[in-house]
Structure 1
Amino acid sequence: MARLEHIAPEPHSRSATGGLCTRRERMVKQLILANLGESLEVTELARACALSRSHFSRAFKCSTGLSPQEWIRQQRIQRAKELIISSALSLTQISQECGFCDQAHFCHIFSRSEGVNPMTWRNHQLRVIAA
């Protein structure tokens, strides 16, 4: 039995458990990350995976633990945090770069995610780095 486990190929598909197969998950995540600054529609992501919108949404959540919209939002916030720390861009520029419709929406989503507004978060991070 141990020998069979050793030579059995690694599973390439999570579809048996309801998730996206590894190839599709990697592809759609790369697509999202390459287009964070754009409007990303779940329907288009589903089409890229050759799945219906509802099947894609369920499979994506099963694979990642987050809905496609939540995962996109999380990635946008992460990218915004990188830009807040490493660039001199304004919040308006950062919000556009990360795909938020405007600065107010960005600040609202950021505050809800991080518990503080972007500039408070930035100042705290700079103090931590300087310490």
Structure 2
Amino acid sequence: MAHVQQNAAPAPFTPVPKKSTGGLSPQRERLVKQLILERLGDSLEVTELAQACALSRSHFSRAFKCSTGLSPQDWIRRQRITLAKQLIQYTDMSLTQISLECGFCDQAHFCHLFTRSEGINPFAWRCQMVRGLKSKRSQPSGMHASV
């Protein structure tokens, strides 16, 4: 038997293409993202999202992360911060109003997560955006501000 192993030619290695399995189907991914975006200002439980996809909570969470690269909670948080940035930039709503509109439990929690995400607190971010908009409006057309 040892003689056969010594003289046997190694089988050629053919890499098997990696299948992207384990994620949500495109239809389920669209469904759950739409559900999240429609209810961004509400309290969302992963269990509800899993039920909408007819999956267990743990299977849904793994599949969602496989499909999006983020856990359901992180994806929701990112969408809420994105909405908050739009509201901060384009409305005169207070940060308290924005935090509640975006589904955060209170302004302190919102400010903490915003700062962790953006590296600056939402009030300072708003000030930067307002300054940026004012400087763009005050420049004559064709002129660019020097850096």
Task: Provide the aligned length of Structure 1 versus Structure 2.
Answer: 117
Structure with more helix by fraction: 1
Task: Tell me what 2:96 maps to.
Answer: 92
Q: Which runs of 5+ in 2 are unaligned?
A: 1-18, 137-147
Tell me, what secondary structure is at the counterpart of 1:17? coil
Larger Rg belongs to:
2
Task: Tell me what 2:5 maps to.
Answer: none
Q: TM-score, normalised by structure 2?
A: 0.77
Q: TM-score, normalised by structure 1?
A: 0.86
Taking the aligned partners of 1:107 and 1:82, their CA distance within structure 2 comes to: 15
Taking the aligned partners of 2:131 and 2:59, their CA distance within structure 1 comes to: 45
Q: Which runs of 5+ in 1 are unaligned?
A: 1-14
Match of 1:108 among 105, 112, 130: 112
CA RMSD of aligned residues (A): 1.3
Structure 1: 4+ residue segments shifted above 6 A: none
Report the alpha carbon displacement of residue 128 of structure 1 after superposing the two structures with TM: 2.6
Task: Tell me what 1:51 maps to.
Answer: 55
Task: Tell me what 1:7 maps to.
Answer: none
Paired-residue identity, %: 71
Task: Tell me what 1:73 maps to.
Answer: 77
Report the alpha carbon displacement of residue 117 of structure 1 after superposing the two structures with TM: 0.4
Task: Tell me what 1:62 maps to.
Answer: 66
